[in-house]
Amino acid sequence: MAPNTTSEFRAGALAIAPAAIAVVPFGLLLGALAAKKGLSPLEVALMSATIFAGSAQFVAVDFWQHPAPWAFLTLTALTINLRHVMMGASLSRHLGAFSPASRSLWIFFLADEIWAMAERRAANAELTPAYYAGLAMTLYLNWVCWSTAGSLFGSAMGDPVTYGFDFAFTAIFIGLIIGFWKGPPTAVIMAASALAAIAAERFVGGAWYILIGGIAGIVVAAALSLLQLEAVGDER
């Protein structure tokens, strides 16, 4: 292991800290909602520890009944998380420092926030396993612990929206998008993604808008590249 493993891990943990803090009230809320649907604390812990996908878990808990419609819930998780295919493909280009066997394991932790922070790191420096571990372990432990806590005593908690915690994720993502800014082509990609996502959210419904918006953005980026408009910087 490189001598700077500790500092890399710490840098990753620090980078994910805003998301790890913002995830606390949402973990409590998810646990409380799941408890209301009859899930035990052990089941909530198991769900967060093995699925580790916040948006899919919220949607699933919303649909949960007794007995659990497991085939439907599995299909729902699959559709909501299809965006991970794009995300994983993009990040797979930056895993040169990871052993091939470890990639399959580390990719398990590809929650939106961890992925976005890893992409940001990879844009400026080599993404090391220690940095990624700092990102992943910090958010993962927070999510599992706080959602389990929520199933035990989360019903006393209010709506995170009241305190602006929902906007913390919006702000984190805005900050990251600005960090990925590479001039006018970025604006064109953003416009395509935003318009497609807004239209899909309104007319298609469900959680399809992320996938549709994301695909619209990357199709436009590919088209710009084809038109030799230098869609993005060609380094790396």
Query: Segment 121-180, which members bind other proteins (CB under 8 A)?
Result: 163-180
State the amino acid at position 131 in one-letter form. Answer: Y
Site for other proteins in 104-123 (CB under 8 A): 104, 107-108, 110, 112, 116, 119-120
CB 132 to other proteins: min, Å: 13
Tell me whether residue 4 or residue 63 sits nearer to other proteins (CB atom): 63
Any contact of residue 11 with other proteins (CB under 8 A)? no
DSSP code per residue over 40-100: -HHHHHHHHHHH--HHHHHHHHHH--SS--HHHHHHHHHHHTTHHHHHHHHHGGG-TTS-H
Tell me whether residue 85 or residue 125 sits nearer to other proteins (CB atom): 85
Tell me 171's DSSP state: H
CB 37 to other proteins: min, Å: 10
CB 6 to other proteins: min, Å: 21
Q: Cis ω on the peptide bond leading into residue 67 (within 30° of 0)? A: yes
Site for other proteins in 24-43 (CB under 8 A): 39-43
Site for other proteins in 41-100 (CB under 8 A): 41-43, 46-47, 50-53, 56-57, 60, 64, 66-71, 73-78, 81-93
Sign of CA dihedral 97, 102, 106, 108: positive
∠ CA 6-10-12, rounded to 5°: 120
The alpha carbon torsion through 134, 137, 142, 145 (nearest 10 deg) reads -160
CB 2 to other proteins: min, Å: 23
CB 1 to other proteins: min, Å: 23
Any contact of residue 7 with other proteins (CB under 8 A)? no
Task: Name 175's Cβ contacts closer than 8 Å, sequence gap at least 6.
Answer: none
Beta carbons of 180 and 186 less than 8 angstroms apart: yes
CB 14 to other proteins: min, Å: 9
What's the chain's length in residues? 236
Site for other proteins in 183-222 (CB under 8 A): 186, 189-190, 192-198, 201-202, 209-222
